[in-house]
Amino acid sequence: MKSWLDLYFTQARTAVAQQFQYRVGVLLWLVGMVVEPVIYLVVWSTIAAQQGGQVGGFTPGLFATYYIGWTLVRHMNITLTPFAWEQRIRQGDLSRELLRPLHPFHNDLGFFIGMKVIQMMVWVPIALVLSLAFQPTFNAQPWQYVCFVIALFTAFVMRFALTWALGLSTFWLTRPRAFFELYFTAELIFSGRLVPMSLMPEWVQTLSNVLPFKWAFGFQLELLVGKLTPEQTLFGFASQAFWFAIGLLVVALLWRAALRKYSAVGA
């Protein structure tokens, strides 16, 4: 256990040091990511105002809460993109990873955990500015805020396992980009990233409950705006645990077979 903790701590510390060296770049990157939710927020707040003050149970203040929370959830959900695997294989970067005594999954996970430290530090002033500009409404119960914080991390770990497993398909697909784009398009529709799921058609809401995307994104935001009951919250955490286990199972099944396909040696 101590060895595992040392690994994660070392990788996280390395990521913190790296991110701190490029803190201005991180700031500009995070500010750039704020543009998307601000557009959504302005559009839906305007629609709510035109519909008598609310739409789908969301007032402009709740939309502000949702989309300001969106920025935090989006930052926390950033994982190793499956697109990175193409470069790792083509350039032989994976060869260096295989020289380490532990599975690359753990090296990557520890590194991305460390990245969140600097991202959170940069996110706080951005959230304060957005809050002053859009006046969010906080209607959730204290237990929902606690669950929101927990769900931020559990969603990240779940999504990390799924995207890492997805990246392994690169060992068999010559051009996996189209496959990855299809996956992320489905995530965009069924996650609550575009709009709260309660504003989507009924069939989309039903399907989202059996797919992993909502549990990586919309679940936390529904907690933040106080839309979930204790039973729905427990179901959300159980769904995250289920899809995390699926991701780990796929990694375990495909990893050895993927290494047998690996032939890059690098430059």
Burial label for 118, CB within 10 Å (0-12, 13-18, 19+), is buried
Q: Does some domain include residue 34? A: yes
The predicted pLDDT at position 115 comes to 80
Taking alpha carbons only, the member of 43, 33, 114 closest to residue 70 is 33
Q: Does some domain include residue 266? A: no
What are 121's two structure tokens? 């530090």
Q: Does some domain include residue 106? A: yes
Decide: helix, strand or coil at residue 55: strand
What's the domain count of the chain?
A: 1
The predicted pLDDT at position 11 comes to 66
Report angle CA 246, 240, 86 to the nearest 5 degrees. Answer: 50
Mean pLDDT by 10 residues, the chain (267 residues): 64 65 63 81 89 88 94 90 84 79 85 81 85 92 96 96 94 84 93 91 94 96 95 97 96 90 61
Decide: helix, strand or coil at residue 48: helix
Q: Does some domain include residue 127? A: yes
The predicted pLDDT at position 256 comes to 87
Q: Does some domain include residue 95? A: yes
The predicted pLDDT at position 7 comes to 65
* Type of residue numbered 208: S
Q: Please name the residues in contact with 72: beta carbons below 8 A apart, sequence gap of 6 or more.
A: 123, 127, 152
Q: Which residue range forms the structural domain that includes residue 151?
A: 2-261
Cα–Cα distance list, 238 to 34, 119, 193, 241, 260 (Å): 30, 27, 21, 5, 34
The predicted pLDDT at position 81 comes to 87
The predicted pLDDT at position 82 comes to 87
Q: Does some domain include residue 267? A: no
Q: Does some domain include residue 254? A: yes
Q: How far apart are CA 72 and CA 28, in angstroms?
A: 15
